[in-house]
Chain A
Amino acid sequence: QQPVQSPQAVILREGEDAVINCSSSKALYSVHWYRQKHGEAPVFLMILLKGGEQKGHEKISASFNEKKQQSSLYLTASQLSYSGTYFCGTRNLNKFYFGSGTKLNVKP
């Protein structure tokens, strides 16, 4: 089942923080986060594995609540370069799904 992302869109000023949420109705093995800029391919940011292992980006962090089947992406001190659409991807057994995306617009 496609994970649900919230919010759908966020507008920030440079330096502000944002949180993007991703929830699934199915038990999750892993959660991936990607950022896609307009006209480009998605780029991997972060992966969170069942059991707590996390690999990712230096200024972006994330959490994974296995019991609640939820993940959150934390963008701190946002920069103009953070603008784009953020997708969460989930894996349940042999199935992979992507959320519908959260559009982030960081303004000067």
Chain B
Amino acid sequence: DAGVIQSPRHEVTEMGQEVTLRCKPISGHDYLFWYRQTMMRGLELLIYFNNNVPIDDSGMPEDRFSAKMPNASFSTLKIQPSEPRDSAVYFCASSLSSYEQYFGPGTRLTVT
């Protein structure tokens, strides 16, 4: 299997622009997680899905952030409008039955 695929790997955008991060989980996995990692705050869980249904979105910072999982093989994390404090590495991870999580390579987002 190719593992968890994320795109883009790097994104540089200006404040106020919309940003969309994409994730393709490992085939057959039923859980999908979105994380944000910064030096200051460490690794934070933003939201996770089970069988395409959002289960816990309490980590989503504010209404500017939204996530969807329209099918078992694709998820998006959208930030609109983006702000400089959103700069971070965003990881997507998937797992089978919430056991070990397999992380994608991450998207490094820079908002100027």
Contacts and interface: CB of A to CB of B under 8 A. Distances in A.
B56 A94 contact: yes
A64 B45 CA distance: 23
Contacts of A32: 100-101
Given A32-B101, A41-B106, A96 B42 contact: no
A47 B95 CA distance: 12
Contacts of B42: 98, 100-101
B43 A41 contact: no
Contacts of A98: 35, 42-45
A40 B91 CA distance: 10
A101 to B, nearest CB: 6
A47 B44 CA distance: 19
A82 interface: no
Given A87-B43, A98-B43, A98-B45, A42 B100 contact: no
A96 B48 contact: yes
Contacts of A47: 99-100
Interface in A9-47: 30, 32, 34, 40-44, 47
Contacts of A97: 45
A87 B45 CA distance: 13
A43 B103 contact: yes
Interface of B: 33, 35, 42-45, 48, 55-56, 58, 91, 93, 98-106
Interface of A: 30, 32, 34, 40-44, 47, 55, 87, 89, 91, 94-98, 100-101
